[in-house]
Chains A and B, each alone.
Chain A
Amino acid sequence: MRKFVDLHLRPQINDLGHVEKMVEISFSLGYRSLGIPLPYNIKEEKIRQLRTICENVGVDLVTRVDLVPKTSGELLRNLRRLRRKFEIISVTCHSKSVARQAAKDRRVDLLAFSTGFPCRRFFDNAEAELASKTGSALEIDMAPLLLLTGFPRIRFLSSLRKEVVLAERSNVPIVVSSGATDVSLLRGPYDYGALATLFDLSLSLAWHGFSENPLSILEKNRKKLSPGYVAPGLFVVRDVKH
């Protein structure tokens, strides 16, 4: 059976009741791992509280940070500081230089783009090529599809359709996430799969975007963050005492 992951659940983390409600509903909809974006300077105590809530419900918490850098220098500084602190790093690209830097940096897991402005979506051919070399995935949030109506939704769907074609052509993995800030925006993975057909993402690819693709990123990062990790394929098995 498929294990579904929602890497972008956005509850108000200061309101633990809200977090609990969203986690419970996500669990009932079939998600078993949930990525919650956390502030850079979050305390260990807070992460422990969130982890307890998720564990009580039966869900695996994935710590994630959403970077919104203004310049590529700022992105590099934040990556250096935060890479070993969070399991998933997503970069929301508001400029072309940031988008290019994020796509060619192996420390970036997810590339996200502005939903409101189609001109600020920089996922073109060159971006897709760079992302395919580093293994970064394109993240598509479904909440804007539910929130937008009329012409903005038409433009959004049109941008997504182009990006999906580019991603498939360059073998860039697509990660589909809810991006939900409230329980009314939460839907099950199969329902999101049906919604994803609106931008010509096939059902099987959409389900991959909710299960295999995020799980492989998560597994890779957890391995890298484990204490014995040195380099790909190289682990400290035991310390030899002289």
Chain B
Amino acid sequence: MALKVESEDPLSERDLIRAIWDSILQLFGEYGASQTNLYLVEFNPENGYAILRCSHKAVDMVRASVVAITRVSEKPVAIHVMRVSGTLRALRKKLVVGSK
């Protein structure tokens, strides 16, 4: 899933993934978190674009957790899910098409 992170100050990759894990743990607990197989594939702090990989069975769970984040390291943040796709290749293609 492709994300757009909007914050006033740039975030580090570490802060972002920690915030996502915290949100999943808060909403779905350790049992739910164990089903997500979450991995931050890439994150560009300059433009705020990130790609997150997760189990296809946990897409809604991860999406809900990601959009529920309002603060990262005490800084106000809004995260929007831009695209969801089955493979990284298709996701990148969709993002390129969407940006044109």
Q: Assign chain A's interface to a size class.
A: 10 to 19
Q: Evaluate contact between B80 and A146: CB separation under 8 angstroms.
A: no
Number of interface residues of B (CB under 8 A): 14
For residue B76, CB closer than 8 A to chain A, the reply is yes
Which B54-100 residues have C-beta < 8 A from chain A? 60, 63-64, 67-68, 70, 76-78, 80-81
- A145 proximity list for chain B (CB < 8 A): 68
Query: Chain B interface secondary structure, helix, strand, loop or mixed?
Result: mixed
CA distance A226 to B43 in the complex (A): 51
- B63 proximity list for chain A (CB < 8 A): 190-191, 194
Shortest A200–chain B CB gap in Å is: 12
Identify which of A86-94, A103-111, A178-186 touches chain B. A178-186
Name, among B6, B67, B70, B77, the residue most crowded by chain A CB atoms within 10 Å (CB to CB): B67
Contact of A195 among B6, B26, B68 (CB under 8 A): B68
Known: A149-B26, A191-B80, A197-B60. A185 touches B67 (CB 8 A): no
For residue A187, CB closer than 8 A to chain B, the reply is yes
Known: A191-B80, A191-B81. A198 touches B70 (CB 8 A): no
The chain A residue sitting closest to B28, CB to CB, is A198
Query: Chain A interface secondary structure, helix, strand, loop or mixed?
Result: helix
For residue A147, CB closer than 8 A to chain B, the reply is yes
Name, among A145, A184, A192, the residue most crowded by chain B CB atoms within 10 Å (CB to CB): A184
- B40 proximity list for chain A (CB < 8 A): none
The chain A residue sitting closest to B82, CB to CB, is A188
For residue B27, CB closer than 8 A to chain A, the reply is yes
CA distance A127 to B36 in the complex (A): 39
- B67 proximity list for chain A (CB < 8 A): 146, 187, 191-192, 194-195
CA distance A198 to B26 in the complex (A): 12
Shortest A148–chain B CB gap in Å is: 10
- B77 proximity list for chain A (CB < 8 A): 184
For residue A29, CB closer than 8 A to chain B, the reply is yes
The chain A residue sitting closest to B84, CB to CB, is A190
The chain B residue sitting closest to A197, CB to CB, is B60
- B6 proximity list for chain A (CB < 8 A): 184
For residue A225, CB closer than 8 A to chain B, the reply is no
CA distance A192 to B67 in the complex (A): 8
- B81 proximity list for chain A (CB < 8 A): 188, 190-191, 194
Contact of B70 among A184, A188, A190, A191 (CB under 8 A): A184
The chain A residue sitting closest to B69, CB to CB, is A146
Q: Which B residues form the contact surface with A (CB < 8 A)? A: 6, 26-27, 60, 63-64, 67-68, 70, 76-78, 80-81
Interface CB pairs A-B, < 8 A, 10: A146-B70, A147-B70, A184-B6, A184-B76, A185-B70, A187-B67, A191-B67, A194-B64, A194-B81, A198-B27
